């Protein structure tokens, strides 16, 4: 039975996935790493605002749901800091004219963000020892040394948070799954500009590529893990 449910997922869909044997839990491994993807002011805005107001500041902002997620990410980050487990920040670096490519053509507004938009959210900003991973594409694995860093740290599983659920979070989860990492996605620590899209993607990820739980449920699992780096 699906762990993640939503008003947008009908019973027939759930039954079809159950009948096909999808959605089994794989659990978190013994050496988890935390990924905080694209949690920058360009996706949250500089303060919590409804979506229609938030996009007046940054067109790529998701609005106040992003700040709800930041609060949950902060709770996860506290656990990882206390245990001295690896924390990685895949993020979009400021775009240059030669970076336009397919993404710039598809979403032109992403090419016109002022410098403040690329800053990390102060409440969960990187600290010394964290790994920063500038990226140019949705997946945190594509064109970055993420896989190399994970091998170096010895991580065997990933907790993937950030923005957007349907874009960079999803593509990173699928690639992590393809590399045989166990993956967990906190449903309330990822965010998107549409609840429908957010929920449908979480359901699909939970069925095929990851375990989707709430942040509190994942923290409960993490507390039972002992990993001395």
> Is 163 designated active site?
no
Alpha carbon distance 191, 68 (integer Å): 9
Sorted by sequence, the CB contacts under 8 Å of residue 43 that are 6+ apart come out as: 58, 60, 61, 62, 66, 163, 164, 191
Q: Are 70 and 63 in contact (CB under 8 A)?
A: no
User: Structure tokens of 137?
Assistant: 């594409």
3-state secondary structure (DSSP) of residue 5? coil
- Choice among 88, 163, 168, 200 that is catalytic: 168
**75-82 contacts: CB < 8 A, separation 24 or more?**
75/215, 75/216, 75/219, 76/34, 76/159, 76/161, 76/186, 76/189, 76/215, 76/218, 76/219, 76/222, 77/34, 77/36, 77/124, 79/219, 79/222, 79/223, 80/34, 81/127
Q: What is the rounded CA–CA span in Å between residue 162 and residue 164?
A: 6
Catalytic (active-site) positions: 168
């Amino acid at each position: 039975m699906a762990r993640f449910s939503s008003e947008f997922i009908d019973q027939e869909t759930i039954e079809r996935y159950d009948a096909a044997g999808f959605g089994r839990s794989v659990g978190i491994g013994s050496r988890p790493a935390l990924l905080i993807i694209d949690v920058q002011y360009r996706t949250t805005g500089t303060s919590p605002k409804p979506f229609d107001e938030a996009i007046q500041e940054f067109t790529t902002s998701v609005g106040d749901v992003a700040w709800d997620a930041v609060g949950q990410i902060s709770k996860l980050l506290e656990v990882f800091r206390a245990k001295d487990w690896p924390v990685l920040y895949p993020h979009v670096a400021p775009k240059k004219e030669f970076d336009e490519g397919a993404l710039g053509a598809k979403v032109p507004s992403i090419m016109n963000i002022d410098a403040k938009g690329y800053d990390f959210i102060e409440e969960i900003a990187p600290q010394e020892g964290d790994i920063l991973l500038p990226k140019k594409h949705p997946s945190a694995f594509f064109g970055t040394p993420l896989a190399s860093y994970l091998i170096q740290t010895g991580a065997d599983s990933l907790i993937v948070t950030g923005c957007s659920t349907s874009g960079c979070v999803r593509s990173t989860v699928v690639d992590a799954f393809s590399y045989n990492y166990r993956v967990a996605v906190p449903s309330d620590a990822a965010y998107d500009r549409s609840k429908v899209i957010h929920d449908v993607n979480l359901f699909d990820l939970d069925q095929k590529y990851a375990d989707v739980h709430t942040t509190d449920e994942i923290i409960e699992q993490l507390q039972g893990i002992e990993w001395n780096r």
